[in-house]
């Protein structure tokens, strides 16, 4: 096929040449030789789990986030469940959270036989709106779970004030926000408990894994017991003391993170600053480019935060574009740009519809955003050319649908 300007400008779904020859994923891990060697060294050690690498990772993580305690878990979901348990959620209780999140945020409330109560999000950041949260507080409310959507910290000050007035626990779902800053403080040192995820598309990875940070020593103690079957001591402690006796003091789970995973986490944490710098650089380039495209609404950043940029969510101006999100999504995928959508609102999922009777329309800001959202590729391993390919593809697709009107 002869490459001509016309074939380059024609959408790939219409037979034109795609912007890229291969698919650029929306997220991807970065693993180097130091990561591999750290894991290999642990595999050759005496401890594959419940060993010294766990405490080492937790201490380094607490120091990085400015928290007094950090407790590791086998996944971000396990960490959320542990935080919900520690907050005292149980049957008859409620917790307020955002509908615009991954299902795990709300599911952790259900795991405790409590009820997740959704409140709408703010139009700019798409984070939980404190005023909407306040309107949903009842005598049954026990916790608030704000989500740091896309890595932009939630509006924590009014949420914490609200919690103090009503005697509630704030569990910040910061799965997107490791390294983000809120009013000069590190995310992880602000809320009563803060939950992080180490899935491969996050800022650092342990394969699967999670962490809860807190300044409350009683919370930390409960978190550690909950991840270890509810047992009050750990295997390495008993071995060091030459003891065999242990006691189960609460009903917990096996949610332990392994030494193998923690060895990877320790090495990954050393690269966090560089990873954040690169993500912020990519976000700045995207924002500058999309400022010139009126049909694309770039994500907002409030003046008192420094986001961590887990992903980069644009919103389409459907009035100007005259095309729905599905058309634009399909066209971008055909250009080999691995776009995604974050998220289907939790109350739209069949399980939640059937259990709680949601019909749609309850949370207009979140639901309108969902119909317009597309997440662009965002990971620290992206090259400058990758970034320019994304921008070129967005310009190409938007131009087509603009001209097609």
Query: For domain 5-28+272-403, which CATH number applies: 3.90.1150.10, 1.20.1260.10, 3.30.450.20, 3.20.20.10?
Result: 3.90.1150.10
- CB-based contacts of 307, cutoff 8 Å, min separation 6: 150, 151, 152, 153, 177, 180, 280, 283, 301
Asked whether the beta carbons of 234 and 50 are under 8 A apart, the reply is yes
pLDDT grade, residue 245 (50/70/90)? confident
Which one is catalytic: 21, 90, 183, 202? 202
DSSP state of 256: P
Average pLDDT (282-297) is 97
Domain boundaries, the chain: 5-28+272-403, 33-269
Q: How far is CA 286 from CA 262, 293, 331, 377, 384, in A?
A: 33, 11, 19, 10, 11
Tokens, residue 159: 């949420």
Annotated catalytic residue 202: yes
Q: What is the tens place of the pLDDT at every residue in 115-126?
A: 999 999 999 999
Tokens, residue 176: 């997107």
Residue 1 pLDDT: 45
- Whether the predicted pLDDT of 6 surpasses 60: no
pLDDT grade, residue 244 (50/70/90)? confident
Average pLDDT (321-334) is 95
Element (H, E) at 287: helix 272-290
Q: What is the tens place of the pLDDT at every residue in 17-34?
A: 999 999 999 999 999 999
pLDDT grade, residue 403 (50/70/90)? confident
Average pLDDT (297-322) is 95
Q: What is the tens place of the pLDDT at every residue in 192-231?
A: 999 999 999 999 999 999 999 999 999 999 999 999 999 9
Average pLDDT (365-374) is 98
CATH-assigned architecture of domain 33-269: 3-Layer(aba) Sandwich (3.40)
The SS3 call for residue 275 is helix
- State the chain's mean pLDDT as an integer: 96
Q: What is the full DSSP assignment across 130-197?
A: HHHHHHT--TTEEEEE-B-GGGPPP-HHHHHHHHHHHT-EEEEE-TT-TT-EETTEETTSSSSEEEEE
Quick one: what percent of the chain has pLDDT higher than 90? 91
Residue 282 pLDDT: 98
Residue 359 pLDDT: 85
- Whether the predicted pLDDT of 290 surpasses 90: yes
9 versus 365: the higher-pLDDT residue is 365
Asked whether the beta carbons of 151 and 379 are under 8 A apart, the reply is no
Half-sphere exposure of 91 (CA within 13 A, CB side): 0
Residue 348 pLDDT: 97
Locate tokens 């990085």: which residue? 64
- Whether the predicted pLDDT of 321 surpasses 70: yes
Average pLDDT (134-160) is 98
For residue 128, give the nearest of 107, 152, 94 by alpha carbon.
152
pLDDT grade, residue 233 (50/70/90)? confident
CA distance 162 to 158: 6
Average pLDDT (143-166) is 98
């Amino acid at each position: 096929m002869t490459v001509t300007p016309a074939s380059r400008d024609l959408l790939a779904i219409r037979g034109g040449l795609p912007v890229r020859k291969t698919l650029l994923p929306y997220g991807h891990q970065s693993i180097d030789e130091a990561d591999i060697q750290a894991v290999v060294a642990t595999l050759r050690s005496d401890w594959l789990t419940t060993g010294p690498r766990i405490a080492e990772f937790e201490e380094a993580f607490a120091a990085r986030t400015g928290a007094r305690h950090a407790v590791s878990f086998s996944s971000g979901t396990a960490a959320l469940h542990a935080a919900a348990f520690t907050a005292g959620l149980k049957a008859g209780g409620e917790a307020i959270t955002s509908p615009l999140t991954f299902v795990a945020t709300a599911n952790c409330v259900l795991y405790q036989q409590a009820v997740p109560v959704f409140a709408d999000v703010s139009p700019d950041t798409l984070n939980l709106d404190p005023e909407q949260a306040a309107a949903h507080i009842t005598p049954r409310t026990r916790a608030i779970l704000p989500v740091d959507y896309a890595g932009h910290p939630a509006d924590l000050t009014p949420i914490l004030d609200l919690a103090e007035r009503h005697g509630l626990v704030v569990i910040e779902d910061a799965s997107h926000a490791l390294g983000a800053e809120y009013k000069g403080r590190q995310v992880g040192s602000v809320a009563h408990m803060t939950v992080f995820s180490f899935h491969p598309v996050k800022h650092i990875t342990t394969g699967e894994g999670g962490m809860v940070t807190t300044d409350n020593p009683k919370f930390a103690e409960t978190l550690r017991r909950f991840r270890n079957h509810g047992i009050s001591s750990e295997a390495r402690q008993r071995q060091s003391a030459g003891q065999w006796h242990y006691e189960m003091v609460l009903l917990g789970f096996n949610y332990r993170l392994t030494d193998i995973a923690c060895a990877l986490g320790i090495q990954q944490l050393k690269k966090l600053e560089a990873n954040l710098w690169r993500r912020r650089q990519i976000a700045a380039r995207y924002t500058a480019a999309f400022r010139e495209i009126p049909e694309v609404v770039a994500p907002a950043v409030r003046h008192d935060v420094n986001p961590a940029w887990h992903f980069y969510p644009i919103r389409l101006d459907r009035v100007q574009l005259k095309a729905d999100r599905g058309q634009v999504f399909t066209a971008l995928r055909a250009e080999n740009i691995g776009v995604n959508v974050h998220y289907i609102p939790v109350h739209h999922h069949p399980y939640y519809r059937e259990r709680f009777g949601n019909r749609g329309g309850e949370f207009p800001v979140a639901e309108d955003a969902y119909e317009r959202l597309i997440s662009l590729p965002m990971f620290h391993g992206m090259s400058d050319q990758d970034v320019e390919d994304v921008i070129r593809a967005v310009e190409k697709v938007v131009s087509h649908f603009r001209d097609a009107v």
